[in-house]
Structure 1
């Protein structure tokens, strides 16, 4: 089979729906909502562009479940029907070529920048960040059990709203150090009640979220989770623990497991720093984990991180290690990448090259490259094309400025509400 034939195959999920091909846009935080966290037409334009580009599954950037706990300024919050008209237009744009569009739902826990947090940040336990990030984030307050149940309910409510709006599935963000990931980590979760301690207790939170969502949306609606293969942090979530969680959720009827890794303190998801050369050449950072978990679960898998060529994508699917190829940054600069590969342009290599300023201190900032790609999403949200030659420094300056202004406005809005 050609690369196009392999990647153009449909994929049936356990709930009964079928995805049109093996390309999946992994979540990138768009920050294209209003300052008070409403949906905007920019999201309809952006996802319409990706739908036209041929990617079979589009997963939105992390949509928050609580207006008082957002990870960035201008995150969209989904907790009631006030944006239903715009939500329906967004969902319709994302599926207008027979694509599927899923909502990724998230609670940041303690990963709310200090400049944005207007009150307590919440976590399983009152464990601060390490010294490198301690000044940028507050020490969190440990959640009460009533608050835990409220968050579980919010995930279910947001899922039901997403289904009503026409989104074709939901994904729980259980990776990258956000709240679900914090509960799973022995480093961040030091509780002594039924929500902490043993892995069985630590995974109770995502398991109850999954069950609540499933009850809210029914058996024939896709429910997925994005899960760390590991935190890569001393005392944190290990690979073996991750596999046990994956097996448990698979036995509950999970429709798709997306594999990633790392958190703010160890951002393995942000690039290839520290990754073995053999892994970089293969283009899939978490493929070894996928090959191991494949022996333990039959749930469809999605591997995200590192893919840059049609050959590597097709090989990953042909090997059986993954069912879907998760792509993020390449689609920020080549929104029609899937169509190009499916048209037989097998040698296409994305223009996702490392973005450098030449200033070592800036180039080592995880936020530097993220800012540049975020700017490309904003361009498409305005109806413009990506700009591959846009200045990295200018992008960083604009994003930091917008975050600072947005954080100030958000805090002031919450204080006055």
Structure 2
């Protein structure tokens, strides 16, 4: 089943059911231009057999990076940017697969080192310790309209460069997700209050993107199944938004979940107790994080769904497809090391490695420290940095460095980020 093609509503065909999920790369220039490192990385992934590759965040505002080193398209590209995008697209499609650009905006989830006065739906600050994120400034209606247009401009630029689709990032607590959340969106105008109003920004973006790229070009949305926070965007909200997106001619919806405050996708514990959702358990293997949510959605809508997070065994992937819980299986972390994981699965590999199981910063004999909230965060972020380091090595040298210690990878990441920010500052 993994090798079956999928015809999307717009008529485009994915050659198989495996996708490389979006993962932040941090390999652009300080000005946000794609580099040879990105070309090398995506060339390797294109050779790896996935039917679809989704890029990491392509940002529509250079003041609202998800991280230093993001690609940025905030206006119609000049000749240099257009050429760099075209080279990236060519490398990322050389295996005959699709390559979709994930278009995003950090909103309040932008570190102070990047922007000490970020914009968001409202002035609700992230509830995270350490003071790394500033209190945001609410966007004006004029700024919202400008951002909707920027998504359209970026989508059109990607189509002209040779990308085969785009994805609007409306999950994981970034700007569109902030508008959807009743915790982060306290507006009293037409963009706040009811779910219909909170979803207005997303639906305006989708309409503008569709108008910019035409009816035959895949437009996808990444959406939280829930924020998993008390009083946040929940499953019933998500299902209604999926229904609206289906009506808006979206071709594929990727189901995910969580925010920086409740990082469900990363398997990390949040700063508060997880809010349980009213979703019945499915018969799918409990390996994948969001299968139950997708199955419940598929019972109500016909739009194709992609499920990412936790998949490691081919049996669980095929079961999710068989029961109708997913149309596309997204792989993330395994492809940071095994770039040809899709081809191996298609050739019969039964299970992918769980590299994260060996990335504990705190030794077992200090297990009591793992119960401390701050140490949970250290463990989680150092593990993430290890995967970021593998992408950096693949882009620079075409190889991984699995022996890198997680905390050392974290320190190296911080050093690279500071260097990029210093270069941005001039």
TM-score by length of 2: 0.91
Match of 2:221 among 225, 228, 240: 225
Q: For 1:275-332, what per-residue CA distance to the aligned partner results, in whole angstroms no more than 9, with x for missing partners?
A: 99x9996211011100100011101100010011111111111111101101110100
Matched, 1:74 2:41: no
Partner of 1:406: 420
Q: In 2 relative to 1, CA 199–132 (structure 1 residues): closer, same or farther, beyond 3 Å?
A: same
Partner of 1:143: 139
Partner of 1:396: 410
Q: For 1:92-146, what per-residue CA distance to the aligned partner results, in whole angstroms no more than 9, with x for missing partners?
A: 11111110000000011111101111x521011111121525x111101111000
Distance 1:243 1:32 in 2: 35
Confirm or deny: 8 A CA contact 2:269 2:376 kept in the other structure. Answer: no
Partner of 1:379: 393
Distance 1:249 1:131 in 2: 31
CA shift at 1:353, angstroms?
2.8
Confirm or deny: 8 A CA contact 1:309 1:350 kept in the other structure. Answer: no
Matched, 1:194 2:190: yes
Partner of 2:291: 287
CA shift at 1:386, angstroms?
1.7
CA shift at 1:67, angstroms?
2.0
Matched, 1:120 2:124: no
Q: For 1:210-247, what per-residue CA distance to the aligned partner results, in whole angstroms no more than 9, with x for missing partners?
A: 00000000000000000001111122111100110011
Confirm or deny: 8 A CA contact 2:124 2:135 kept in the other structure. Answer: yes
Confirm or deny: 8 A CA contact 1:284 1:305 kept in the other structure. Answer: yes
- Partner SS, residue 269 of structure 1: coil
Partner of 2:238: 242
Distance 2:71 2:375 in 1: 29
Confirm or deny: 8 A CA contact 1:46 1:383 kept in the other structure. Answer: no
- Partner SS, residue 265 of structure 2: helix
Moved more, 379-388 or 214-223: 379-388
Matched, 1:179 2:175: yes
CA shift at 1:393, angstroms?
1.6
- Partner SS, residue 397 of structure 2: coil
Structure 2 unpaired stretches of 5+: 364-369
Higher relative contact order (CA 8 A, sep 6+): 1
Aligned residue pairs: how many?
Answer: 404
Confirm or deny: 8 A CA contact 1:356 1:363 kept in the other structure. Answer: no
- Partner SS, residue 41 of structure 2: helix
Point out 4+ residue stretches in structure 1 off by more than 6 angstroms.
none
Distance 1:315 1:142 in 2: 44
Confirm or deny: 8 A CA contact 2:3 2:346 kept in the other structure. Answer: yes
Match of 2:347 among 339, 343, 347: 343
Match of 2:41 among 43, 46, 68: 46
Structure 1 unpaired stretches of 5+: 1-5
Distance 1:382 1:131 in 2: 33
Q: In 2 relative to 1, CA 347–71 (structure 1 residues): closer, same or farther, beyond 3 Å?
A: closer
Confirm or deny: 8 A CA contact 1:357 1:363 kept in the other structure. Answer: no
- Partner SS, residue 339 of structure 2: coil
Partner of 1:3: none
CA shift at 1:387, angstroms?
2.4
Matched, 1:111 2:125: no
Match of 2:301 among 297, 304, 308: 297
Distance 2:254 2:248 in 1: 16
Distance 1:349 1:131 in 2: 31
Partner of 2:367: none
TM-score by length of 1: 0.93
CA shift at 1:391, angstroms?
1.2
CA shift at 1:362, angstroms?
4.4
Confirm or deny: 8 A CA contact 2:92 2:99 kept in the other structure. Answer: yes
Distance 2:12 2:128 in 1: 46
Matched, 1:20 2:15: yes
Q: For 1:382-401, what per-residue CA distance to the aligned partner results, in whole angstroms no more than 9, with x for missing partners?
A: 13322223211210111122
- Partner SS, residue 206 of structure 2: helix
